[in-house]
A = this chain, B = another copy of it.
């Protein structure tokens, strides 16, 4: 109970050396002239006492705390958040850093609060994560630590980690083409504003660009483009139902898995089989995608990798301003016919 923590002074005393020596040895300074015996004595003493440095004391002196702040607009609202956090967490753990998680709800006042709270704690870096990829508002405070934008961008902070949406968009189309589907492809979830990058961020508009370019390259056009302003299952359901009244598509290219989910429901009700009658490809690799029957083939959002990349960039000694585009993996399931060899 009453046992106080072991301090560096205790270690030094047991080793018969000064705290200076102990400190230098334990922090592994390179240019020190301390003898091998001293090293051994200090390490032994530290080990036998179970010494753990007091991070606050160290932070006070060095202005480094081996911790980073993960500031996001929403952590639970979207299922994406936990992937980003998990990835960031594991990279932080590898780098022997600890992660503060802060949520702002996108409210400027809370954002300011969050940044100040983090800075008060001498964090070694800030990650601003956006759950809805977009240009992120970053409070106009003096920030004297590295910043990485995650799943979003900011004019002030040029280093950002984003999914490689353009390539992802292309892949979705290529998947259809290589499954032998070359006509009656319907785009589900078109949205002019998003496509122009007005509503959400550029990232989604890049997904559209990838899709358009790949279609053009394959010499294809969509049989229809179904628009909606929100990518939720019921929109997918309604749009697909309406579609089926007038035409019978060969494939649905869905802008996300939840739209696809709704489409499955409408197809199921109409007694249309997947993938024999209608094939589907989608984006996100939501948990949902694996629950569907047949499993939904989808271009995954690489959240974990994005999260860990963000931390790596943040802590890397030389950080080059750039957008780090993380590959969107193809997750093959059963919603495409197995046609290609």
Task: Kindly state the separation between the CA atoms of A116 and B320 in the bound complex, as whole angstroms.
Answer: 34
Kindly specify which of A18-26, A33-41, A75-83, A276-284 makes contact with the partner chain: A75-83
Task: Kindly state the separation between the CA atoms of A119 and B59 in the bound complex, as whole angstroms.
Answer: 15
Beta-carbon contact of B98 and A99 below 8 Å: no
Nearest neighbor of A141 in chain B, beta-carbon distance: B50
Q: Would you list which residues of chain A between 251 and 303 have a CB under 8 Å from chain B?
A: 258, 261-262, 265, 268-269, 287-288, 291, 293
Task: Specify which chain B residues have a CB less than 8 angstroms from the CB of A101 in the assembled complex.
Answer: 85, 89, 99-101
Task: Kindly state the separation between the CA atoms of A86 and B100 in the bound complex, as whole angstroms.
Answer: 13
Task: Kindly state the separation between the CA atoms of A1 and B145 in the bound complex, as whole angstroms.
Answer: 11
Task: Specify which chain B residues have a CB less than 8 angstroms from the CB of A233 in the assembled complex.
Answer: 291
Beta-carbon contact of A98 and B102 below 8 Å: yes
- Among A57, A60, A67, A142: residue with most chain B CB under 10 A: A60
Min CB distance A86 to B, Å, is 4
Beta-carbon contact of B67 and A86 below 8 Å: no
Beta-carbon contact of A121 and B288 below 8 Å: no
A52 within 8 A of B: yes
Task: Specify which chain B residues have a CB less than 8 angstroms from the CB of A287 in the assembled complex.
Answer: 79
Min CB distance A63 to B, Å, is 9
Beta-carbon contact of B82 and A76 below 8 Å: yes
A90 within 8 A of B: yes
Task: Kindly state the separation between the CA atoms of A99 and B288 in the bound complex, as whole angstroms.
Answer: 30
Min CB distance A263 to B, Å, is 12
Copies of this protein in the complex: 2
Residue from the list B93, B113, B121 in contact with A55, Cβ < 8 A: B121
Beta-carbon contact of B76 and A83 below 8 Å: yes
Residue from the list B98, B269, B291, B304 in contact with A76, Cβ < 8 A: B304
Task: Kindly state the separation between the CA atoms of A52 and B269 in the bound complex, as whole angstroms.
Answer: 61
Task: Specify which chain B residues have a CB less than 8 angstroms from the CB of A258 in the assembled complex.
Answer: 291
Task: Specify which chain B residues have a CB less than 8 angstroms from the CB of A245 in the assembled complex.
Answer: none
Min CB distance A115 to B, Å, is 11
Min CB distance A281 to B, Å, is 19
**Known contacts A76-B82, A76-B83, A79-B79; is-contact A54 B102 (Cβ 8 Å):** no
Task: Specify which chain B residues have a CB less than 8 angstroms from the CB of A201 in the assembled complex.
Answer: none
Nearest neighbor of A58 in chain B, beta-carbon distance: B56
Min CB distance A212 to B, Å, is 29
A237 within 8 A of B: yes
Residue from the list B86, B103, B122, B293 in contact with A90, Cβ < 8 A: B103
A31 within 8 A of B: no
Task: Kindly state the separation between the CA atoms of A98 and B53 in the bound complex, as whole angstroms.
Answer: 21
Task: Specify which chain B residues have a CB less than 8 angstroms from the CB of A335 in the assembled complex.
Answer: none
**Known contacts A65-B56, A261-B291, A291-B261; is-contact A85 B76 (Cβ 8 Å):** yes
A-B contact pairs, 7 of them (CB 8 A): A54-B60, A55-B56, A56-B65, A67-B121, A99-B100, A100-B101, A265-B293
Question: Which residues does A use to contact B, with CB under 8 Å?
Answer: 1, 3, 52-57, 59-60, 65, 67, 75-76, 79, 81-83, 85-86, 89-90, 93, 98-103, 110, 113, 116-122, 142, 144, 233, 237, 258, 261-262, 265, 268-269, 287-288, 291, 293, 304
A52-B120, A82-B85 given. 4 additional CB < 8 A pairs?
A54-B120, A75-B85, A86-B103, A98-B117
